[in-house]
Amino acid sequence: MKTFAAFHDRSTLDLPIHEVLARAVEGESLTPGDGYRLIRSSASELPALMLAASQLRDRGKGQTVTYSRKVFIPLTNLCRDKCGYCTFAKAPNHPEAHTMTPDEVLAVARAGQAQGCKEALFSLGEKPEELHARARADLRRLGYSSTVSYLAAMCDLVYRETGLLPHANCGVLTRDELIELREVNASMGLMLESISERLLQRGQAHYGCPGKAPALRLETMETAGELGIAFTTGILIGIGETLEERVDSLFAIRDLQARCGNIQEVIIQNFRVKFDIRMRDHREPSPLDMLRTIAVARLILGPDQNVQAPPNLAPDIYQMYLFAGINDWGGISPVTKDHINPERAWPMIQELYTVTAEAGFALRERLCIYAEYLARPEFVRDRFRDRIASLVDEQGIVRQEETRW
Ligand code: SF4
């Protein structure tokens, strides 16, 4: 794995912030030292930081902000990992522990189809059969030997029966597993979350999580790049990382994109505290911290990267994200709750439209695979081509007549 020693040059910490921002707006590639300076910007420097990020976003993305109309299919909530902030994963003996049957999967997908959804987001625990006999028994009963094989079959089923484009988010994967999923997914996702290996230590957020080793996550996305799979990734902020580690994570993603070219979107997600998690006494990132991090992400990642922040995790201030440099709201479901943050309902799509318009932007629906990647044949599987062509306009986003508010 690449070391990040070079990232600890802090010689620019004393730089006037306007000098760093001017270089960023000029299109100069920032250094980690620049990033460390920006992430430590004061409250009084925040408006200038956000303005520069907005200018960069406008240059790359114009005034269009996108979202994906999706259904959320939580295929299994059993998981081999034990993240300190997770309420999604359940112990095998928990009354809510469940692996969905094909009929249950199809029922959710059909509900989404009826509501005009285009994306089936499969989100699930990572390789639970490695740890839990219950998961192995569930898979045996369903006729599969691995969660990945069952997932591939369900992606295929949903696409054949409903035309929803599958986008699987299922943790780290081997090359063979990526090849299996590649044929049945229009795009895929894996949050880097953090480049910090320190978070794997006892007492930290990722203790007991073999799948959260950052090197493995980078390797999965790098292999996906070789296989022509468009990937969504991102960082989760406020889980115990230092501000410098947060910046290092953004640079790791920028480097990954420079090497592999398959990172279609970067999510900036804020940790939210819940009463039933290991990290229940942990402090949440403040709204200002979130705005600062979004702006720094835009300035590091440049004008062309798609930058997203979830609106349902900051219902009072999410409109402000538009002034910090985002150009996407992520997947929004008119049908299913957010199973990862079930207490945080998504805004209605009509509300999102209004909020976005009030800020001076046009909201448009996109597919799970971004327009930039639709334009590159190596990223589009043959089986999806006709379906995708029937949904998008010449810009590669969903035709207005296919869109419902
Ligand atoms: S956050 Fe994901 S990987 Fe971590 S325990 Fe929950 S389901 Fe598993």
**pLDDT tens track of the chain, all 405 residues?**
444 444 445 456 678 899 999 999 999 999 999 999 999 999 999 999 999 999 999 999 999 999 999 999 999 999 999 999 999 999 999 999 999 999 999 999 999 999 999 999 999 999 999 999 999 999 999 999 999 999 999 999 999 999 999 999 999 999 999 999 999 999 999 999 999 999 999 999 999 999 999 999 999 999 999 999 999 999 999 999 999 999 999 999 999 999 999 999 999 999 999 999 999 999 999 999 999 999 999 999 999 999 999 998 888 899 999 999 999 999 998 887 666 666 666 678 888 999 999 999 999 999 999 999 999 999 999 999 999 999 999 999 999 877 776
How far CA 222 is from CA of 197, 213, 216, in Å, comes to: 18, 14, 10
Residue nearest (by alpha carbon) to ligand 1 atom 4:
83
Q: How far is the CA of 13 from the centre of ligand 1 (A)?
A: 35
Q: Which residues line ligand 1 (CB under 6 A)?
A: 79, 81-83, 86, 88-89, 125-126, 171, 209, 211
N-term to C-term CA, the chain = 44
Q: For residue 400, how many C-alpha atoms fall within 13 Å in the half-sphere facing its CB?
A: 2
pLDDT of residue 316: 87
Whole-angstrom Cα distance, residue 359 to residue 354? 9
Which atom in ligand 1 lies closest to the alpha carbon of residue 86?
6
Which atom in ligand 1 lies closest to the alpha carbon of residue 77?
7
Residue nearest (by alpha carbon) to ligand 1 atom 7:
125
Which atom in ligand 1 lies closest to the alpha carbon of residue 124?
7
Whole-angstrom Cα distance, residue 185 to residue 188? 7
How far CA 258 is from CA of 10, 29, 173, 302, 326, in Å, comes to: 23, 12, 21, 12, 20
Among 19, 25, 21, 22, CA closest to 303: 25
Among 368, 312, 362, 388, CA closest to 71: 368
Q: How far is the CA of 212 from the centre of ligand 1 (A)?
A: 9
Structure pTM? 0.94
| R_g (Cα) of the chain, nearest Å | 20
Residue range 54-68+183-392 forms a domain whose CATH class is alpha beta
